[in-house]
Amino acid sequence: MDYMTFLQVLDSTVRLATPLLLACLAGLYSERAGIFDIGLEGKMLAAAFFSAAFAYTSGSVWIGLLAGIVASLILSGLHGLASITFRGNQLISGVAINFLAAGMTVLVAQSWFEQGGRTPSLSGNARFDSIELPFADALQGVPIFGPLYYELISGHSILVYAAFAMVPLTWWVLYRTRFGLRLRAVGENPAAVDTAGVSVVGLRYAAVMICGVLCGIAGAYLATALQAGFVKDMTAGRGFIALAALIFAKWRPWYALSATLLFGLLQAVALRYQSIELGGFVIPVQFMDALPYILTVVILAGFVGKAIPPRAGGEPYVKER
């Protein structure tokens, strides 16, 4: 593999890791507050559809992004209502959201556009354009650093840069602000937070809403930046891979970045090298397509080690009288 091919694989890694990173950080906020959310997949899927639909209809990708975030927030509100207000089972609520999004997106897409459950192709202002950073062309000929800057660092959409900026921002919010301290505390010992006069319900709803915003951006990125429109089940398990990355990262922002880049690399390699010959034996294309999911299971089964979730995670809080 030459240097340019290596950079192209890394460039694909960044693009493919972006929705995983956003969804992983979304789950991080929610689960740090004690609300398990396996409905990341459904919220991303709903956001992908509504962002593509509204971007196509309005001709503005920003309206599409807003629509995707709103759709994800509505589903987050339903999850919060079921798991926080009514103290229902958080896992069942997440599964219901995934089923609801999977069926609703195809049904509404067929009703609106009559194209077999997909949206028309997006173009022009209905898609996020790549941003060329300053001096990218001028530095292209500089050995080593020039191609690195031009191919890998420059040329991504604004949502990619926003996703990576969310990592230090999330670290700062969780570990350097009063809100973050309370958020982490409510996932460990909600009774102590309640005793201090802080609303456990309010904090958990705030975490669920932040989760909804990030899932909305992730879904919008899939439909309006990574691809040019919505197709059925286009999230393709990314929400579940993000949950695996969250466990692999042990609920820490910087580890989440590393974990999602690893899973993004696996997807990039699988997409680029569809047919690999080893000793006269050609590895089937189907195996390469399944490779990211296989390695996700392998990594979780053998390399995570001891990953301890927030102590109050998954448990509805009942205020003592």
Residue 155's SS3 state is coil
Among 156, 157, 174, 154, CA closest to 166: 174
For the cut 90, the answer to whether the pLDDT of residue 298 exceeds it is: no
Tell me what pLDDT residue 295 has.
75
Q: Which tokens hold the place of 29?
A: 């906020």
For the cut 90, the answer to whether the pLDDT of residue 301 exceeds it is: no
Domain positions in the chain:
3-235
Tell me what pLDDT residue 303 has.
64
Strand pairing report for 276-278 and 281-283: antiparallel
Q: What is the dihedral of CA 85, 180, 23, 221, to 10 degrees?
A: 110
For the cut 70, the answer to whether the pLDDT of residue 99 exceeds it is: yes
Could you please report the per-residue DSSP string of 60-81? Answer: -HHHHHHHHHHHHHHHHHHHHI
The answer to whether 316 touches 84, Cβ cutoff 8 Å, is: yes
Q: What tens digit of pLDDT does each residue of 60-80 get?
A: 999 999 999 999 999 999 999
* 44 — pLDDT class (breaks 50, 70, 90): very high
Higher-pLDDT residue of 38, 143:
38
Tell me what pLDDT residue 180 has.
95
Tell me what pLDDT residue 239 has.
93
Cα(108)–Cα(49) distance, rounded to whole angstroms?
9
* 311 — pLDDT class (breaks 50, 70, 90): confident
Over pLDDT 90: what percentage of the chain? 65
Q: What is the pTM of this model?
A: 0.94
Q: What tens digit of pLDDT does each residue of 198-238 get?
A: 999 999 999 999 999 999 999 999 999 999 999 999 998 89
Among 155, 130, 129, CA closest to 140: 155
The answer to whether 314 touches 90, Cβ cutoff 8 Å, is: yes
Tell me what pLDDT residue 273 has.
75
Over pLDDT 70: what percentage of the chain? 95
Tell me what pLDDT residue 290 has.
79
Q: Which tokens hold the place of 24?
A: 């992983």
Tell me what pLDDT residue 314 has.
85
Residue 304's SS3 state is coil
